[in-house]
Amino acid sequence: MLNPGTPAPDFELKNSQGESFSLSDLQNKKNVVLYFYPKNDTRGCTAEACSFRDQFEIFQEHGAEVIGVSSDDLASHQKFSTKYQLPFTLLSDPAGKVAKMYGVPKTLGLIPGRATFVIDKSGTIQYAFNSQLKPLEHVHNALRILQQLSSDNT
Distance of CA 41 to the CA centre of its chain: 16
Distance between CA atoms of 54 and 75, rounded to whole angstroms?
23
For helices 135-152 and 43-54, angle between their N-to-C axes, nearest 10 degrees: 30
Q: Give, in degrees to the nearest 5, the angle at Cα 135 between 57 and 64.
A: 30
Among the listed residues 32, 45, 86, 149, the single catalytic one is 45
Q: Respond yes or no: is residue 50 known to be catalytic.
A: no
Q: Which of 21, 114, 36 is nearest to 68 (CA)?
A: 36
- Would you please indicate which residues are annotated as catalytic (active-site) residues? 45
